[in-house]
């Protein structure tokens, strides 16, 4: 396979701030379809046609999202309880089971032509996990992967203490990614009591704030994460708003 001549791939960074989940989903779908269209209609001699790539960072108002392989039984709250918590429930087309999004959580949606970055979906998920692991390492936290589960975890070898700090669920269509990760920074963890997070009933959820015992500067976390994303994906992020 011929690779692009520029070894450092350009990725447009968009900071969407606090945005409704459906609005962010619609934006992802629009960007994904534009990349697919360019891939399918390219006249380039290269086997990897030049396309745009994006990293969307945001937060959402309270919402529980269910992946296409998940079970509604893992939502432990009823409609009235969701209304009382000002929370929505949305079925999505990503992989994985149920998770929660809310203020204080850093959500990332890479919309990437994966031909530029990885050899397959498993490598892509590994790289997403690595960006979070390296960010947590900056704060003195040893995080790792857990066999049989996606996401980023702490104390995977300590029975009864294993806890998830970042959920990952992606969708890939024609080699283009969407959806992504949800990294608990200053997240209100009480909302996770309303679900079996990612379908697990025997593992806890944590946040960077809980682990360190203080409120975290979210802009600092974002800056550290962007640095690690560039390194792990060998990308150059254009931080201008688009």
pLDDT in tens, 186-227: 999 999 888 776 656 567 899 999 999 999 999 999 999 999
- pLDDT, residue 22, reads 96
Residue 4 token pair: 């692009």
- Summary count for the chain: helices (H), strands (E): 5, 12
- pLDDT, residue 26, reads 97
Contact between 127 and 117 (Cβ < 8 Å): yes
pLDDT at 241 exceeding the cut of 50:
no
How far is it, in rounded angstroms, from Cα 198 to Cα 148?
12
How far is it, in rounded angstroms, from Cα 228 to Cα 131?
6
All structural domains of the chain: 9-42+49-238 (3.30.930.10)
CA quadruple 35, 37, 40, 43: dihedral sign: negative
The single residue listed with the structure tokens 């692009």 is 4
The DSSP call for residue 75 is B
Helix axes 121-138, 218-232, angle to 10 degrees: 140
DSSP helix, strand, coil percent of the chain (3-state; round to 5): 35, 30, 35
- pLDDT, residue 47, reads 64
pLDDT band at 71 (very low <50, low <70, confident <90, very high): confident
Ramachandran assignment for 39, one of left (phi > 0), alpha (psi -120 to 50 degrees), beta (any other) = alpha
Question: In the chain, what's the furthest Cα-to-Cα distance?
Answer: 57
Which of 5-9, 38-42, 90-94 has the highest average model confidence (pLDDT)?
90-94
Between the CA atoms of 107, 112, 118 and 122, what dihedral angle is there, to the nearest 10 degrees?
A: 50
Q: What is the pLDDT of residues 88-143, one digit of tens each?
A: 888 998 888 888 999 999 999 999 999 999 999 999 999 999 999 999 999 999 99
Annotated catalytic residues are 198
How far is it, in rounded angstroms, from Cα 237 to Cα 54?
9
Ramachandran assignment for 160, one of left (phi > 0), alpha (psi -120 to 50 degrees), beta (any other) = left
Percentage of the chain lying above the pLDDT 70 cut: 90
The single residue listed with the structure tokens 């890479």 is 110
């Amino acid at each position: 396979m011929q690779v692009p001549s520029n070894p450092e791939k350009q990725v447009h960074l968009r900071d969407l701030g606090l945005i409704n989940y459906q609005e962010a989903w619609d934006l992802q779908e629009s960007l994904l379809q534009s990349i697919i269209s360019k891939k399918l209609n390219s006249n380039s001699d290269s086997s990897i046609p030049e396309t745009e790539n994006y990293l969307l960072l945001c937060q959402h108002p309270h919402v529980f999202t269910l992946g296409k392989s998940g079970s509604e039984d893992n939502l432990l709250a009823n409609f009235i309880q969701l209304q009382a918590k000002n929370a929505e429930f949305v079925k999505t087309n990503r992989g994985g089971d149920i998770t929660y999004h809310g203020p204080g959580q850093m959500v990332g949606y890479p919309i990437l032509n994966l031909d530029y970055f990885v050899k397959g979906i498993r490598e892509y998920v590994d790289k997403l996990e690595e960006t979070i692991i390296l960010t947590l390492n900056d704060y003195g936290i040893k995080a790792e992967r857990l066999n049989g589960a996606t996401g980023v975890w702490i104390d995977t070898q300590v029975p009864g203490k294993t806890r998830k700090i970042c959920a990952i669920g992606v969708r890939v269509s024609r080699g283009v990614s969407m959806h992504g990760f949800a990294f608990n920074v200053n997240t209100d963890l009480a909302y996770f009591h309303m679900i079996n997070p990612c379908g697990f009933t025997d593992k806890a959820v944590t946040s960077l704030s809980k682990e360190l015992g203080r409120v975290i500067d979210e802009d600092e976390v974002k800056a550290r994460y962007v640095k690690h994303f560039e390194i792990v994906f060998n990308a150059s992020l254009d931080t201008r708003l688009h």
